[in-house]
Amino acid sequence: MSNGHRQDPDRVRAMFGGIARRYDLLNHLLSVNLDRGWRRAAVQRVPAQSPGPVLDLCGGTGDLAVELIRLGRASEVICCDFSHAMLLLAREKFDRRRILDRCRVLEADALRLPFADSSFDAVTVGFGIRNFSRLESGLREILRVLRPSGCMVVLEFSRPTGPLFSRLYRFYLRRILPRLGDAIGRGRGAYRYLASTISEFPDPPTLAGRIRDSGFAACDWSCMAGGIVAVHVGHKESVTADSKAPEQHQQQGLLGV
């Protein structure tokens, strides 16, 4: 999959819409159900429940938002994604779990968020930051909507560093995942796209550096599953004495579906 394809948000949006109904099944199947534990581990890096809302960016079908509520890391979650089809499924999931009053969906572009500055105590991004057409722009937009001392938690695929495991994983990414994923998901090229974004995405130390370069005061990270996934935690600078009070978070654009 070419880099040009990945830079076209409309094509990426259409691709995810095409696999939305089978997205959760494929995540669990292709990760041998490890993705559930990865999400739990990422959510546990979010500070304990605060009175303000948490933004789950690239929220997809809502699994990370559900964990934020279940583990007591948020009193309210805005599940934000640019795929309408994914958000319809997220809303159904929240309704089934009777948390629709605490988890709401918003269709929006991660590079142009419809929120005031300093709106959220935390922002989470699960398996979606690779899809930012401009990584630094997306990181700066997250920083903008975070309150002083707030944190961003990014759960993302990475690449193992051990020589043997690394070779096996590359074979899985190039040969197995695209064919199996596209066959079951009935998506034309969606999982080939996934494999290419994982292969081309910055490794954990490089991503941490780019997060800091985007304006975050600090960033730490850790790997799981032998390096297959990484969790990065970026911290916004604390408020200074002459800083203005945070503005109230705006709620325009919430889907009425």
In a domain, residue 246? The reply is no
Inside any domain, residue 31: yes
CA distances in angstroms from 92 to 63, 70, 82, 136, 208, listed in the order given: 12, 17, 17, 32, 35
Residue 21 lies in a domain: yes
Find how far residue 208's CA is from the centre of its chain: 15
As a three-state string, the secondary structure of 40-70 is HHHHCCCCCCCCCCEEEECCCCCHHHHHHHH
List residues bridging with 181 in a β-sheet: none
Could you give phi then psi for residue 187, rounded to 5 degrees?
A: -105, 135
243 within a domain of the structure (yes/no): no
Cα(94)–Cα(142) distance, integer angstroms: 24
**Is it the case that residue 29 has pLDDT exceeding 80?**
yes
Residue 136 lies in a domain: yes
pLDDT average, residue stretch 162-170 = 93
- In angstroms, the CA 6 to CA 12 distance is 7
| 101, part of any domain | yes
State pLDDT tens for residues 77-98. Answer: 999 999 999 999 999 999 999 9
At residue 50 the predicted structure's pLDDT band, cuts being 50, 70 and 90, is low
**What's the structural domain count of the chain?**
1
More confident call, 16 vs 96: 96
Reported confidence tier of residue 240, pLDDT bands at 50, 70, 90: low
Looking at every residue in the chain, the average pLDDT score rounds to: 88
Lowest mean pLDDT among 8-12, 23-27, 215-219, 223-227: 8-12
- Give the CATH number, domain containing residue 114: 3.40.50.150
Question: Is residue 62 one of the residues assigned to a domain?
Answer: yes
**What pairing do the DSSP bridges indicate for beta strands 103-107 and 120-126?**
unpaired
211's CB contacts (< 8 A; 6+ apart) are: 139, 152, 154, 219, 232, 234
Using an 8 Å Cβ cutoff, are 234 and 57 in contact? Answer: no
The boundaries of the domain holding residue 56 are: 3-235
pTM score, two decimals?
Answer: 0.89
Q: Are 216 and 143 in contact (CB under 8 A)?
A: yes
Taking the C-alpha atoms of residue 232 and residue 204, their distance in angstroms, rounded to an integer, is 8
Q: Is there a domain that residue 251 lies in? A: no
pLDDT per residue over 169-217, tens digit each? 999 999 998 888 878 766 667 888 888 999 899 999 999 999 999 999 9
